[in-house]
Amino acid sequence: MNLDPAETNPQHYKVVFENDRVRVLEYTDSPGDSTTVHEHPDSVMYTLSSFRRRLFHGDAQRDVEISAGTTAWVPAQQHRGENTGDTPTHSIFVELKEPAPDQPDDVYLGPD
């Protein structure tokens, strides 16, 4: 099954740049919007807006609130999400195409 977010959730994810080493995605949504299950390789996320969301990974879920201007490392993972706030989400993801030598088995569900 293809879990590329640009294909599973094209209303939210748009490829804005791609070469042989990275792919850059722009993510947008509105309050109440949600995504279907999708996956990301190791990525760097930069938030252009502040937002609240609920992230789901299997049976686990976590509520996060992220401020505009936050930059975070996001390990490779599969998840789905829901905008639970009252503001739109606008983020940029820089996905790495070269896997790390040793992939950790943890999943990033937002800052603590």
pTM of the model: 0.84
Q: Give domain limits for the chain.
A: 5-96
Quote the pLDDT of residue 46.
98
Q: How many CA atoms lie within 13 A of 7 on its CB side?
A: 6
d(CA 17, CA 23): 6
pLDDT tens figures, 41-84: 999 999 999 999 999 998 999 999 999 999 999 999 999 999 99
**Helix, strand, coil share of the chain (percent; to 5):** 5, 50, 45
Q: Which tokens hold the place of 99?
A: 């896997």
Q: Which CATH architecture has domain 5-96?
A: Sandwich (2.60)
pLDDT tens, residue by residue, 15-41: 999 999 999 999 999 999 999 999 999
